[in-house]
Amino acid sequence: MPDLRSARQEKNFFQRTWLKIQRFFQETIGELRKVSWPTRREAIRMTWIVIGVIFVMSLILGGLDYIYTRIFAVILG
């Protein structure tokens, strides 16, 4: 009686691994084609927004750190 295993099961470990890697890259390329990429102007604008938010948050966190340092200095004497 012929062996009923599929062709996939007959392949060795390295062949199966290579096929998985190929499939991963094929699917990744397919997903990247679906992405709605921002224009250069949008990307620059969003970058400046991120830099601004980081700057503001660093000021807030730095201020809180300074305040808490002073409070603990008074408490611990």
Domain that holds residue 68: 11-76
d(CA 55, CA 48) in angstroms, rounded, equals 10
Is 65 inside a domain boundary? yes
Compute the radius of gyration of the chain from its Cα atoms. 28
Write out pLDDT tens, residues 27-44.
999 999 999 999 999 999
pLDDT of amino acid 10 = 75
d(CA 37, CA 69) in angstroms, rounded, equals 45
Total domains in the chain come to: 1
pTM as predicted? 0.57
Is 43 inside a domain boundary? yes
Is 72 inside a domain boundary? yes
Is 38 inside a domain boundary? yes
The more confidently predicted of residues 60 and 3 is 60
DSSP string over 23-71: HHHHHHHHHHHH--PPPHHHHHHHHHHHHHHHHHHHHHHHHHHHHHHHH
What's the mean per-residue pLDDT of the chain?
Answer: 90
3-state secondary structure of 10: helix
Write out pLDDT tens, residues 43-67.
999 999 999 999 999 999 999 999 9
Is 1 inside a domain boundary? no
